[in-house]
Structure 1
Amino acid sequence: MALNQALGPGTYAYVPDPQGGLGCDAIKVGLIYKPSRVEPVGNPQALASATFERYPLAQAFRDKTTGGVFTAVSVHLKSKGSCDASDPDTGQGCWNLRRTAQAQALADWVEATLRPLDPDVLLLGDFNTYEEEDPLALLRSRGFAPLLSGHYSYVYMGLSGALDHAYATPSLAGQVQGALAWHVNADEPRVLDYTLAFKTDDRYEPTPYRASDHDPLVVHLSLSPDTQAPPPSGCHPQGAPVVISEFRFRGPGGGSDEFIELFNRSCTPVNLGGWKVQGLSSSGPNWTDRATLASVTLEPGQFYLLANTAPGGYSLSVAPDQTYTTGIADNRAVRLLDAGGQVVDLVGFASSGQYEGRGLVDGPTNSNGLQQLSWKRIPAGRDTDDNLADFQFGENWANPQNRQSPRYGDN
């Protein structure tokens, strides 16, 4: 990157995009850091929700000096421009309802997913919201503490205000030594801008001034040492502990060329002893056992692969952890039961009548010309209790993982 060309190799590093990306907007969020000061803990995560144009990006970091850990979340909420009749300007700019919904989703995500991993969470970025508007009022009502107040970070038509903010969870707010807006951009004239937009006189120079139209914020953290290691990043403390993360009921080898991949999405080990995988019969709502799982402990982020080894069966190279010989009919359903007989996860096609939320669109019923297709969750731990939303179909992307595969690896 250009920073390292100017300051020396390795001075800065960037957080890679999580699996599944950060949305399809022309703008996306990002995080860069100094490896000499902090190190990433676990994998990056995105709040992949249709509520957002640009998915928030989260990454936990450990302070190399104190050992303290915090999670940074890069945020860019919907802009105030380009009004739509469904969300007009009623005094807080266009799209206030959408920004408020985004703030709600962000607060829910922090509470359900990020804080159980580590309580110290920092939200920062362009909220496109002034201090007393609804989205930030919602965050404050949910217990997030503003680290700056009364500041400005943007100038519009000669008026200054704060669109950029830093909010912390209560446990992190007590470790903040100070925060400020660095006024190097908003007050500067457009002729210094890095872009040619909106100007006929270009006086750009490679200095900090007018590197953006928003002022950056600076937050000084003094992190306390963590007394224990946080749970692995990417785990989910709520919801189904183990899910069916990739599968197919037919492949290029025929109707028995099938596999079922399980994934421990929870934050604790799960023993699979006595658990069952059941398939829906070809006619009628009758579930029958396909496999009773071995007494193995699945660690957080670990996969478990079952495959049909009947004649004409499983054709991929990744070795299954367990096999079965009675297949599941085309466009039916599969479910996972715990040792007590409770349904932990269910995935089915719409025509089967058995599914969570909405059923999957029916797939092929013959193997002529089939490639290595599968249905999979991206990422593997995604689980909204809606099969149609959680699973994606690919014609040549089957990539089953077993217990020996990297934890939290690409599905």
Structure 2
Amino acid sequence: MTGSVTSSQVTVIGAGPAGLMAAEVLAQGGARVTVYDSMPSAGRKFLMAGRGGLNLTHSEPLPQFLARYPEATPHLKAAVEAFPPQALRDWSEALGQPTFVGSSGRVFPKAFKASPLLRAWLRRLDSAGVQFALRHRWTGWDESGRLLFQTPDGPRVIDATATVLALGGASWPRLGSDGSWVEILTAKGVRVSPLRPANSGVTVAWSDIFRDRFEGQPLKGGALTFGMHTVRGEAIVTRTGIEGGAVYALSAELREAILKAGRATLHIALRPDLEPSDLIARLSAPKGKQSLSNFLRKAAHLSPVAIGLLQETAISSGLSLASLSPADLARLINAVPIELNGVAPIARAISTAGGISFDELDTDFMIRRLPGIFAAGEMLDWEAPTGGYLLQASFATGAAAGRGALKWLPRKI
């Protein structure tokens, strides 16, 4: 391997929320920090996350908040408690981006966008002396333990005193998080749980007629049920299946069921707000000369896509909607079975499950078998629903890894 060797006190690899927060903590602690990223600019996925409104965190009490991380709660608890949602809100306000709590309890910057916050953050990091080296793709270590990068100008070798890895998962790889680090770390003996899509859509074998007519249409006001869990919210028909907030909330259970059995059945209530007796009464009204679609639209207030979903299900099940009694039709409307045959590709998922096992880390987020190498963010083996939990854990673990690296430095200087 050829290339010039550059010394660095602390190298942060990954310019997303976890990496940038680690860099900020390190710089505030007096470390000399350089952030490396394969992309031409910092925070690419962070900006994407804020495209529809940047959901920074959530306002619910901390015990309920921590429960959103299922099996990872014991491993994330100390980091989130050290940098909780209120601390993240205060941090945002100090950058000139005050926040507000939405009706769902989610927390957003008042500007509602990621770009003003990111610009202010990068200015703060610059004033703190943090350096950036972009278009640098990390490829591992050389035989002396120095970091190797591929750049447009050829290979670079970095001799770092400590390193924070914050390379993200494998969702939206075109924004920089492609999971290529998995092979590098497993080659070093680090145990990494397989990366899997989280907060992702699922696939359905729609008929051509349904797909062509309703692709991109939202199913509003419904309730989705899988197993013992029911979620109210919106779902969107895609060309290959179904996605949206309500689907994402069930995606972990759906994913595991599909991986185990190759399929799963999701039930959708199209009018969950109506009592069964009320719905039956509406469907018992004389239909007259109306088509069934018009009757369902007027009597049950179903949207065209909801009616289409009913018809799609009836055809695939060999049923005739017109022959169903009002009671049977009411039951179907509020328990439409959708046969799922797969999970949408990880490249289209909002986030990633799997990653570096917490057993591989010490309490300072240092990889035990790689002294001086810390890890944070979506590289770690946790997942959470949307609602601010993803960014909160990324910020909190980034801060924790930064603190850990600061503790490590005196041992090496």
Structure 2 length-normalised TM: 0.22
Higher RCO (C-alpha under 8 Å, 6+ residues apart): 2
Q: TM-score by structure 1 length?
A: 0.22
